[in-house]
Structure 1
Amino acid sequence: MEYVKIFSGSEIIAQAIQTELHQLGIGSRLQNHIQSAVLAGFGTADLAVDVLVDKKDVIQAKLIVSKMVS
């Protein structure tokens, strides 16, 4: 599978998007840069949680994201 980033922002919104995608049958994964930075010993002030989906689901997933964040 080839993953494509469809959203980057706060962890709370990213989790809500992932839940909505799951309910609609679209697989996704979160890439949490904040948690990774903390585990590595340095923090970050960025809202850096990415939602990734399979390349074949990008168009449908982006439509869902645009409805949720607008």
Structure 2
Amino acid sequence: MAAWGKTLDPTGKTGIRFLGDPTGKFTEALDLTFDSAAIFGNYRSKRYALTVEDGKIKSTHIEPDNTGVNESAAEKVLG
């Protein structure tokens, strides 16, 4: 996530925070994991993006197939 932040917001002025979830606990709490044991041998995070304002989730953008890049694309999330 740090590398994405440096690439997509090198000056840090967009106000976007790039956050990782290395243990998957946040994703589990949101019920956004899926069983990928057949491919990766474990559970993985669905691809999603959240819009958060003042610490509250304002909108969710969850890929229906778990891995695509349509609903969670920046253009769709940021409008």
Higher RCO (CA-CA < 8 Å; seq separation 6+): 1
Question: Is this a same-fold pair by TM over 0.5?
Answer: no
Bucket of the pairwise TM-score, normalised by the shorter protein: under 0.3
Normalised to the residue count of structure 2, the TM-score between the two structures is 0.25
